[in-house]
Structure 1
Amino acid sequence: MTLKLQKTVPYDALAVVKLPGIAPMPSGDWILVDEAYAAQMSERERLLSERPMDVLAMTDGAEAACSELLDTLLEVLQERDDFEIFSSNVVCPDGRSVPVDRADVLETIARLVQQDFCIHEKRGDEHVMTAAVLCFPASWTLAEKIGKPLTQIHVPVAEYDNDIARRVQRLFDGIKVGKPMWRKNVHWYRDPDLFHPMTENAPRQQEVEGDFLRTERQSLLRLPKTQAVVFGIHTFVLAREDVAV
């Protein structure tokens, strides 16, 4: 499937920042709708139809957090001019009418916005990924990460040492309701595919010669009722000739 690529991103994707690279984010910027919305949503619909088990996951006990995420998302979209929110459905910027299905909360969330979401809840001393909508994985696989704490989720990221792990856990503990945070990452890929899963044991290689820059704007948001932390992932893909260096 040929996907429309972005021409720009709303931050300097190539700027070097020290891990974990977290900064405050205005609440109104939590959800983005960009020029690739229609194309990305079409790809999400395809994945949800053909590979739902690969892109949606929920563990026992995560139902309340998933429902609260949907409610929070609907509240945010209600304030936008490009979505029409009704009691039983949402009309999206690309003209699709998405039913609000409370019996299938994760699929409803996945069909509304470009952003992927990983829900993390405190289990003992660590936050654990208890549910996720992950249509656009960047070299990882949801089945290997769901139900695991942060330290195991980041295997095999070489930079994620014990010091970074402690700092990230403190960060998750410190996220305040109404004060989301954000960071970015960036990698070169040889193809523009948004669905790019990879198992933990697959060979890793630097793709510096790739023709496509893939960057994620990652957000962290605390849900007020369940206190779950929502890790959001908005993916941008640019052709090399469109990247300002």
Structure 2
Amino acid sequence: MDNFIEGSWLHSIGMAHHQATLAAAMKAAKENQINIAMFVFFIVLAVRQFISRTAAAKKAGANQQYLEAPGFPEIEPLEKSSWQEQEPLKLRFFKPKYFLTMDFDESAIQNLNPSELILMDKTYADRIGYRKRIMKESPGIAIGVNDDKRIGPAVRELYTYLLGTYLPKMYPDMFKLHYASFETGSQFMMENVVTKAVYPTATSERSDTRILLRTLGAVIDEDFLFLLPEEESEDPKYILEAYVCICPSGWSPPEKLGKRLATIHEPVPGYKDKLEGSMDRYFKGLEVGKYVKRSNWSITQHAELFLPDVNTNHGKEDDVVEELESIDPEKIFLRCERQTLHRLPKSGAVVFAFKTYLDSLKDVKEEGLGDELADAIDGLKTGNVPSINIYKRGPVWGTAAKKYLRS
């Protein structure tokens, strides 16, 4: 009997253990089913999100190489060439007499193909490094904003056009667009292939105008000045509202901020009599879609591009002059600016931009243009504004430079 009871008890225990094991196995199987179901659910959700984002990206144009820019003129990519093989532009518009004028000719104003607004060459990487250094060391001089509320929309407009449309379309080997997703949303980013930096192409009213200007200065080897007409004026004049300027030559950008064109050019001999009226009319009448360019030249004793000191490169009638007896042709430079002008389609702001080039007098002479430049130096004193010779400091370097160039 005892054996029977013991056997029954043991049998009961075995059955209970078996049932418990079976229940645990069933519970584990059920949990596995739930885990598998959840895994499948998240996989399906991820796939749906991927499909949705891909569709949204395609709708947004993620497969495009550049963004559409309504209001801006159509541009055609230049002939394919590597920026690393492109020589810097040579501006050599020397004339035997200097005339301060707005006439359309090779040394004054010319129509500009919008596709040629920005030019790239093999100096790009070094020059961008230089620009970044200047903006870091002298941010209060290199970047300026007068009335942020007025000019902010114009800076944002040019910024998005250049980073989202112009650069990736004209120079796809240097700038590429990427469609990126963030917690705050998705947008196009512009990659600078040369510097490895990435920047957003989109802006908003909360975008810091100074940061946008700094980005333009760090991406493009070009200085940009934004001008708008005065408010509440019967005869509004254009004033400088914002800029990023790394290559001023003998003028201080902060001192020009918020000033009229006439005040900005006050030190230039002959401006008031020869150019002020026509310049104001030209800015007022400049149509959207019309791009123009001009160039100028001067001689400088400085290899530095950043020269905001007002006493550098420019002279005045009462200056005490110490004439150079001779020059080192590798340390005296021809400094030229390629200047462009156009109006933005939405904000209506006028954008004045320029790129600065430096070539030693030795380079100019080796090009076979020594006599032409020497004649042009003589011509500073024989044109319609003879005092321009003093303004350009001709009495300092003129005789020695001409002697070398004609030797």
State TM-score, norm by structure 1. Answer: 0.88
Q: Does 1:115 align with 2:222?
A: yes
Asked if residue 221 in structure 1 is aligned to residue 351 in structure 2, the reply is no
Matches of residues 51-200 of structure 1 in structure 2 within 5 Å? 51-60=138-147, 61-74=150-163, 75-80=165-170, 81=172, 82-86=174-178, 87=187, 89-92=189-192, 94-100=194-200, 102-103=207-208, 104-123=211-230, 124=233, 125-199=236-310
In structure 2, the CA distance between the partners of 1:62 and 1:52, relative to structure 1 (3 Å rule), is: same
Of residues 41, 49, 57 in structure 1, which corresponds to 2:136? 49
Amino acid of the residue matched to residue 177 of structure 2? Answer: I
Aligned amino acid, residue 285 of structure 2: G
1:106 is paired with a residue whose SS is helix
**Contact 1:8 1:238 (8 Å CA) reproduced:** no
- How far apart, in 1, do the equivalents of 2:155 and 2:261 lie? 19
**Do 2:87 and 2:121's aligned partners in 1 also have CA atoms closer than 8 Å?**
no
Question: Higher helix proportion, which one?
Answer: 2
Q: 2-side partners of 1:31 and 1:83: how far apart?
A: 13
Give deviations 1:130-188, integer Å, cap 9, x for gaps: 00000111111111100001000112011312341111111111222122001111011
In the alignment, structure 2 segments of 5+ residues that lack a partner are: 1-85, 103-107, 179-186, 370-407
Amino acid at match of 1:52: P
Residues in 1 aligned to 2:137 and 2:188: alpha-carbon distance in whole angstroms: 25
**Aligned mates of 2:238, 2:355 — CA distance in 1:** 21
2:94 — aligned with what? 14
Change (3 A) 1:214 1:106: same
> How far apart are residue 49 of structure 1 and its match?
1.3
Secondary structure at 1:161's aligned position in 2? helix
Q: Matched residues in 2 for 1:145 and 1:182: separation? A: 22
- SS of the residue 1:96 aligns to: coil
Q: Is the 8 A contact 1:59 1:131 kept in 2?
A: yes
What displacement does 1:108 show?
1.3
**Distance change (3 Å), C-alpha of 1:174 and 1:39:** same
Give deviations 1:64-87, integer Å, cap 9, x for gaps.
111111122122112122211334
Q: Secondary structure at the match of 2:271?
A: coil
Displacement of 1:41 after TM fit?
0.5
Q: Which has the higher contact order (CA 8 A, sep 6+)?
A: 1
- Indicate the structure with greater strand content: 1
Q: 2:298, 2:334 within 8 Å by CA — same for their partners in 1?
A: yes
Equivalent in the alignment of 1:33? 120
Matched residue, 2:70: none
CA shift for structure 1 position 211? 1.1
Residue 233 of structure 1 deviates from its aligned partner by: 0.7
SS across alignment from 1:140: coil
1:5-34 Cα offsets, whole Å, 9 max, x none, are x97525434346652311100001101112
Distance 1:174 1:41 in 2: 34
Tell me: CA distance 1:64–1:189, structure 2 relative to 1, closer, same or farther (3 Å).
same
Deviation at 1:89, TM superposition (A): 4.1
Cα distance, 1:202 vs. partner? 9.4
TM-score (norm 2): 0.55
Provide the C-alpha distance between the structure 2 equivalents of 1:122 and 1:91, rounded to a whole number of angstroms. 35
Gaps of 5+ in 1: 1-5
> Which residue identity does 1:120 align to in structure 2?
L
Q: 1:237 to 1:203 in 2, by over 3 A?
A: closer
Count of residues paired in the alignment: 240
2:152 alignment partner AA: E
Are residues 201 and 7 of structure 1, via their aligned partners in 2, closer, same or farther at CA, if it must alter by over 3 Å? closer
Which residue in the other structure is 1:232 paired with? Answer: 353
Whichever residue aligns with residue 64 of structure 1, its letter is P
RMSD (Å) for aligned C-alpha atoms: 2.5
